[in-house]
Amino acid sequence: MTEPKATTTDSVLDAFFGELDDQTRQKFNIGPRKTSRADRLQSWRRRKAGLDFSQPLPEPEQVGPPDAAKTPAQLDGRDWLSIAKRASTQIGEDRVPAVAAGVTFYALLAMFPALTAFISIYGLFADPQKIIDNFEMLSRFVPTGALNIILDQTTAITSAPQAALSFASVLGLLVAFYSANGGTKAMISAMNIAWFQKEKRGFLRLNLLAMCFTVGGALLVVSMFSLIALLPAVFSYLPLDQYSTRVVSWLRWPIIFTAVLFALAVFYRYGPSRRSARWHWISPGAIFAAVGLGLASLLFSWYASNIANYNQTYGSLGAVIGLMMWLWIASMVVIVGAEINSEVERQIKIENEIPVPGDPEADEDGSKELA
């Protein structure tokens, strides 16, 4: 006797909220999900291949040889070499540079409206002209041409009447949020690609998640800017000697690094559409991305200032090209961190004889939803 096909209710729920688990269905009296013919065919192929994924896959601690690696810290040099080889291959197969270019496009669209909104809000509490001096402190991390664009735009905004700034703040926030949200969804797609996942969350769940990431990212950027640019100004009003001021000033960098590491951990955990992902406060990919963002910014800033001459090649667009390159490199670093995390988890599952995405028997039915 065949099972009934998926109902219209299931299709509508999937479109808005994604696949709901049995506990959620019972809570709202929705009833069990009906399986479609494609689902039954996929289950039959898995059973034929000797793979049963109807239950959650076991954790590495529960199965596998006793001497097999259970955590990234237990991987040896040969394992890391295999991870590096597979990650480099996946970077090409997953078109990481192209995906990062899409994220860069949305980031560039969001940057200047966000700058307008930030300066307008900043002007409610302090003199907007002072923000130019604070931006100049970012010269070590931002390429010279890109920083000049930001400073020129900042000067133009601060020269506008206060009434115009108030209207611009509202409009800028809306435009910046819409553009940044598009970049966030592009980055979420990159996370799914890195983890061999298909997007299973519905329209509402996906967009709400993207909005949360967008708002959280904006708050992180504002907090980082406050620590870098505004903290020295605050110290000038405190009764601290020169040594204490220097020590406290250097403490902002470990704080920023920790904040970025935590933000990456949250994004790598909840960004991809995974059913049984585990939370990791610190992961190899997050460490790589956090360190890589700082080093890449420093090196590219030095390269753009001392070696590359974008103005000679692109004329008046040279500074814009430099800014795009910087955003593109930063986006790639974050995506590569996800690729590393994916391959680290894959290596641990291989050593513990747990089916992983990419195995021939797992791919026989076209499924890559094993993680």
**In the 3-class helix/strand/coil scheme, how is 275-311 assigned residue by residue?**
CCCCCCCCCHHHHHHHHHHHHHHHHHHHHHHHCCCHH
The CA dihedral of 246, 250, 252, 256, to the nearest 10 degrees, is 170
Find out whether 116 and 172 touch, Cβ atoms under 8 Å.
yes
Give percent helix, percent strand, percent coil of the chain, each to the nearest 5.
Answer: 70, 0, 30
Residue whose structure tokens are 């994220």: 103
Q: What is the pLDDT of residue 210?
A: 92
How far apart (Å, rounded) are the C-alpha atoms in residues 185 and 191? 10
pLDDT in tens, 286-340: 999 999 998 998 888 888 777 777 777 777 778 788 889 989 999 999 999 999 9
pLDDT in tens, 89-136: 999 999 999 999 999 998 888 887 777 777 766 666 666 666 776 676
Amino acid identity of residue 345, one-letter, is E
Please give the backbone phi and psi of residue 116, each rounded to the nearest 5 degrees, phi first: -60, -45
- 309 close to 37: Cβ distance less than 8 angstroms: no
CA distance 267 to 230: 27
Predicted confidence pLDDT, tens digits, the chain (371 residues): 444 444 556 555 555 555 666 666 666 666 665 555 555 555 555 555 555 545 555 566 556 677 777 788 888 899 999 999 999 999 999 999 999 999 999 888 888 777 777 776 666 666 666 677 667 666 667 777 777 777 787 777 777 665 555 666 677 778 788 888 888 998 999 999 988 888 888 888 899 999 999 989 888 887 887 777 666 666 666 777 777 767 777 877 888 899 999 999 999 999 998 876 777 777 899 999 999 998 998 888 888 777 777 777 777 778 788 889 989 999 999 999 999 999 998 898 888 877 665 544 444 333 333 34
